[in-house]
Amino acid sequence: MEYLLLIYHSEANWGKMTPADEAAIYREYGQLRDDLSGKGKFLGGSQLTPTTMATTVRACETANAWSPMAHSRKPKSNWAAISL
């Protein structure tokens, strides 16, 4: 079975973090990625762009409001595809 993980942080809180706090978060994500990779479970991942760069996708004149993340404002986001 494959899953898509979304790891995110509040835009307001991220802007208040020290560089050391940011580095600790990236280090923790790196440890998770390395652990999953070592088990052959990490399929891929990437950091998402900030919300200031976001685009709304519309289909049939309806915004993607069905998505739980449609109205999210979480710019420091990463995704990771894993296999369990």
In a domain, 33, yes or no: yes
Write down the pLDDT at residue 39: 94
What integer is the mean pLDDT of 12-31? 90
In a domain, 77, yes or no: no
pLDDT tens across 34-60, in order? 999 999 999 998 887 777 777 776 665
Q: How many structural domains does the chain have? A: 1
CB atoms within 10 A of CB 70: 11
Predicted structure pTM score: 0.61
In a domain, 13, yes or no: yes
In a domain, 21, yes or no: yes
Please give the backbone phi and psi of residue 55, each rounded to the nearest 5 degrees, phi first.
Answer: -130, 140
Domain ranges, residue 29? 1-49
- What is the H or E stretch that residue 33 is in? helix 19-38
What integer is the mean pLDDT of 64-70? 48
